[in-house]
Amino acid sequence: MEALARLPIFLALQDKRAVLVGGSTAAAWKAELLSAAGARVDVYAQNPSEELLAIAAEAPRGPIAVHARAFEAADLNGAAIAVGAIEDETQAAAFAAAARRAGVPVNVVDKPALCDFAFGAIVNRSPLVIGISTDGAAPVFGQAIRAKLEALIPRGFARWAEAARTWRPRIQSLGLSFRARRQLWERFTQAALARPNDIPDPSELEALSADIDAEPERIGSIVLVGAGPGDPELLTLRAVRALQSADVILIDDLVAPEILDFARREAKKMLVGKTGYGPSCGQDEINQLMIGLARAGRRVVRLKSGDPMVFGRAGEEIAACRAAGIAVEAVPGITAAQGAASRLAVSLTHRRYSRRLQYVTGHHADADGGLSADIDWKSIADPSTTTVIYMPKRTLHAVTASALEHGIDPATPAVAVVEATRAGEIVLRGSVADIAARLEAIAPSGPVLVMIGRVLATVASSAQEAAVPAAGSSA
């Protein structure tokens, strides 16, 4: 998981005391917010504004008491939270220090250095509440995101969330198994998403729980999910849904760590990577693990970098699942060639220069370090073809040598991309004659692909390129 600027928590303030210092409009807003959360709000202000007094007179939930005097440190006794809307820097610092001495978490409006916590922008469908924070960096940006979410989240979700809170004790009392309870809540969620503006009533619960005990314990399932080339924004919506419903995630060695931020927190995550020419989980071992987990009733996601159907050994895994009678499906991902080409703004096909696009693996099935005997070198040498070579780190010298032997023009443009679409992406531009030497010079540890063809002449010089001398030149 990536580092968090702040820990997002939701604080229960029902019937707890909140101390608020200040009488301005900002103080009035905070008083209303604290009251809406159920707190008993004591406001200390020598000159309370009319707006503050009006809100106190019609508190949304918890009572608001306005004390027309200066704040004193003793006022913090018994407080669960302290908030200050204080312009004067010295007074604000004194208030924050007093709160910390009293062991009360404190926030001072527009003074982040004095704050133990921050108020975020809120989308309120209570008890469904979404908080948004920019850690004080750009409050207007946070408000804009809130506005977008307000338009996306139906107001009817509040009724469904309230129904869930009301029904939970009844559901717990039904004595259902964990799997049956989970299935009931999945039905509930599907109903809420399908009919957000309906008003759920007790009969809805009866309908959702009908026959749930009668259903046999389901065998699990397996989903092969493409994680894309690395940039988490290239993950598909269907892939996200699969990750969020998985019980177990079996992770390919090349999957970017950021992708796992989309996974269900409770899911068990297991690394089953296969590193070329290095220590690896065997394919048979992975197949047996997937099938065993599914037979135990688990929903298994086999998470693969790129597209699982492109050099991902998906065919073997699908065949093993079908032979075992396990339901299996595949969720496509953006393959590395597409991701790299898009990042470079180069079209892999072109009416003038490339009538054919082909993907070739540089990794032999027997993992002996050699090339496959069935590679069609004539098609690679064809000037009207764009070739993308996957996993070429160990074999690129042999690939380019064979292509040259079969007549490819040595000046044909070639581009090697390391860690395509990721933060550490490196692009090496060269030709078929020198691209292997350029790649060898930087000895990359991350995933690599190499693209060959006349369309690569259009790659912009602004691409992030490693500082590597051209083959045969002096450093």
C-alpha distances (whole Å) from 178 to each of 166, 188, 297, 406 are: 19, 15, 12, 62
Known catalytic residue at 111: no
Contact predicate 429/455, CB 8 Å: no
Between the two ends of the chain, the Cα-to-Cα distance in Å is 40
User: Could you check whether the bond before residue 127 is cis, i.e. omega within 30 degrees of 0?
Assistant: yes
As beta bridge partners, residue 306 has 228
Distance CA 475, CA 473 (A): 7
Distance CA 302, CA 286 (A): 9
Nearest to 250 by CA among 183, 199, 196, 317: 317
Distance CA 464, CA 448 (A): 15
Known catalytic residue at 15: no
Q: How far is CA 395 from the centre of its chain?
A: 34
C-alpha distances (whole Å) from 75 to each of 11, 57, 71, 435 are: 21, 21, 7, 72
Which residue among 231, 247, 252, 307 is the active-site one?
252
Distance CA 79, CA 402 (A): 77
Q: How far is CA 201 from the centre of its chain?
A: 34
Contact predicate 343/420, CB 8 Å: yes
127 contact partners, CB below 8 Å, separation of at least 6: 158, 161, 162, 164, 165
Place of tokens 């499906």: 329
List, in sequence order, the alpha helices (H) in 37-177: 50-57, 89-101, 139-152, 157-172
Using the CB atoms, write b or e for 232-263: b if 16+ within 10 Å. bebbbeebbebbebbbbbbbbbbbbebbbeeb
List, in sequence order, the alpha helices (H) in 126-177: 139-152, 157-172
Which residue among 16, 116, 274, 409 is the active-site one?
274
Distance CA 160, CA 156 (A): 7
**What residues are annotated to the active site?**
252, 274
